[in-house]
Amino acid sequence: MVTSAPERLLRRLEWRLGRRLDGRLQGAYRTVWHGTGLDFTDLRLYTPEDDVRHIDWNVTARADEPHVRLYTEDRELTAWLVIDRSASMRFGREAGKESTATELAVSLGRVVSQGGNRVGAILFDNDSHVVIPPRTGRDQILRITRELLRPGKNGKKGQTTDLSKMLALAATTTTRRRSLIFVMSDFIGDPGWDRPLARLTHRHEVVVIRVVDPAELDLPDLGVILVEDAETGEQLLVDTSDPLLRGRLSTQVDAREAELAEGMRKAGVDAHRITTDQDLLAAMVDMVRRSGRVRR
């Protein structure tokens, strides 16, 4: 039977998820990323550590002792995959950062949807974007996979990614209810994205995943090569074996990493950095564990 590329990718990732995660992630995400509501379950006597807002004043008046309401959290989620599809995401080994973001998005979407949760997607580039409304089921993940595998358009040269616009689009698209939002990008673009990211985190639970290729952090020694900025089209002939050049690039990389860390700190987000040579499933498990530690 002939199957499409999206179906083959989804099947391959489902097989890897089922075989290697062995339930570690499917159960873990429910204790880390919470739903939007609370269900009343019981009453008990008030203790000094309790939140006074949970005191049931009617029961307190009848019993002549303060009682608090107990709740269980609604685990039903609406999750969004916000994915940067700009030209810089096509850089990297094999199919580049875009391929890594695609596999990670499909894997996360499939895991989250298995609990009956709704998953939507926002695929962003400066010149165009695709919004897939959240729905449940495997067919929805297949639809997102199909859009992710569709070749991106070649945007106008000379412009960098407007990350603020991407995050503002995510904020306006997800206004209906509090959601779990995965933002996947290399964060190469115009500055000033920390404020819209902070506004997004104010309303939603946001997981930032920064996709990086190792060559962006440590330039390989390839001799004299022609490099091109994928977004601006600027070309430059460089000698990658020049120690002075490598030193300057290393300093610039350190400065950029510090600037990104400061932006994430201002936005109140603990970003997860995933490289194109990483084991994605192991990275997913580590991401869930880190999110759990941050929540606690």
**Sequential DSSP letters for 185-209:** E---S-S-THHHHHHHHHHSEEEEE
Q: What is the model's pLDDT at position 146?
A: 94
Mind listing the pLDDT tens digit for each residue in 226-249? 777 777 777 888 888 888 888 888
Q: What is the model's pLDDT at position 126?
A: 83
More confident residue, 194 or 157: 194
Lowest mean pLDDT of 77-81, 88-92, 210-214, 229-233, name the range.
229-233
Residue type, 286: D
State phi, psi for 43 to the nearest 5 degrees: -125, 150
Task: Return all residues near 36 (Cβ < 8 A) that are at least 6 apart.
Answer: 74, 76, 77, 78, 177, 178, 179
Residue with tokens 């120690």: 243
Mean per-residue pLDDT, 250-269: 92
Cα–Cα distance, 233 to 266 (Å, whole number): 31
Q: What is the model's pLDDT at position 34?
A: 55
The pLDDT mean for the chain works out to 83
More confident residue, 216 or 225: 216
Supply the pTM of this predicted model.
0.77
Task: Return all residues near 19 (Cβ < 8 A) that are at least 6 apart.
Answer: none
Q: What is the model's pLDDT at position 296?
A: 44
State phi, psi for 285 to the nearest 5 degrees: -60, -45
Share of the chain above pLDDT 90, in %: 38
Q: What is the model's pLDDT at position 189?
A: 86
Q: Kindly state the tokens that stand for 31.
A: 């204790």
Q: What is the model's pLDDT at position 220?
A: 80
Q: What is the model's pLDDT at position 169?
A: 94
pLDDT band at 35 (very low <50, low <70, confident <90, very high): low
Residue 145 pLDDT > 90, yes or no? yes
Q: Kindly state the tokens that stand for 269.
A: 């987000």
Residue 40 pLDDT > 60, yes or no? yes
More confident residue, 141 or 38: 141
Selection from 16, 215, 186 nearest residue 103 by Cα: 16
Cα–Cα distance, 201 to 24 (Å, whole number): 26
Residue 130 pLDDT > 90, yes or no? yes
Burial 203-221 (b: 16+ CB within 10 A, else e): ebbbbbbbbbbebbeebee
Mean per-residue pLDDT, 264-270: 91
Residue type, 295: R
